[in-house]
Structure 1
């Protein structure tokens, strides 16, 4: 039986590499790029009952996880663009737990969010692949954490975010015996 922390963080917490090499950045961008298709292949065949199943006790449903990814990655693309066009912008945090309780996250089909993710990630990947070394060092300020985050470290954390939520879904499918 897995612990609650293992269910919450099936791939562990994000750990920033000691050195963000070009290879690590390329791999992270590839993971971000591939995420929409990887997610679609895991969820598009699930029934309504399966989509409405929580990935862990007290956790979001698979449906909410899919919609959360669209919400989160939409915000991330905006944060990247702000950092590229403004000097150390303070980003707007949002209450992801509250967003997950709204009607669009709890009740609507996942197809619109899967489409959003495809478009967001296609644009995001083009932007990420075009970043110069100087642009990778640009930062935004996250007021909840009270610190600056560079775009290069954010790339890694969002690649982790993709894999983190994908693991929630695959673990839920496995524990329920779903294909």
Structure 2
């Protein structure tokens, strides 16, 4: 198993049916609760553990999830309201070194809970036409909103597995 991808890599499916979409939305909905259960009672020593040599700490992973999912929410809103917008990427590793990543994990846990509540309300309101809208990465690759929902369901599970690795 590749420790960087404990649940495997995400393969963007060509077709997304309603059952798959429903399952992904459930996973996005469950993430704040599962993340809370996993990290809320960890001491600072456990929060400083890493899932592999040279990786982020548990605390950094929690803050990263907040940053990543905020970016995803905005990217999806851009896709729905604009015509194939090119999104901005960001230097995740450099963000993980900024001062806000030293805040208590509770700050990001609260943010993730609120963000996911709002994000899910938005996602569940989308029409099939809106779910097919796309955003474009700077390299020219495009992804439909409904495919990106799968990517971010995977992303949450991917980092839950990292945290589990680090604390076990």
Question: Which TM-score band applies after superposition, normalised by the shorter structure?
Answer: over 0.9
Deviations 1:25-68 (A, max 9, x none): 00001100110111010000100011011121110000000000
Q: How does 1:97-112 map to 2 (within 5 A)?
A: 97-105=93-101, 107-112=102-107
| 1:133-152 correspondence to structure 2 within 5 Å | 133-143=128-138, 145-152=139-146
Q: Among 142, 145, 154, which residue is 1:160 paired with?
A: 154
Structure 1 alignment gaps of length 5 or more: 175-179
Structure 2 partner of 1:26: 22
What's the C-alpha RMSD, in Å, of the aligned pairs? 1.0
Aligned-partner SS, 1:8: coil
CA distance in 1, matches of 2:52, 2:5: 11
Query: How many residues were matched structurally?
Result: 168
TM-score by length of 1: 0.91
Q: What's the CA shift for 1:23?
A: 0.2
Give 1:128 shift: 1.0
Q: For residues 101-150 of structure 1, what are the alpha-carbon distances to aligned partners after superposition, in whole Å with 9 as ceiling and x for unaligned? A: 11111x2111110011001100111111111110011011110x321111
Local SS of the residue matching 1:7:
coil
> Match for residue 40 of structure 2?
44
| Equivalent residue runs for 1:1-179 within 5 Å | 6-105=2-101, 107-143=102-138, 145-174=139-168
Give distance in 1, aligned partners of 2:14 and 2:129.
19
Query: Which 4+ stretches in 1 moved above 6 angstroms?
Result: none
Shift of 1:18: 4.6
Aligned partners of 1:9, 1:102: CA distance in 2, in Å?
24
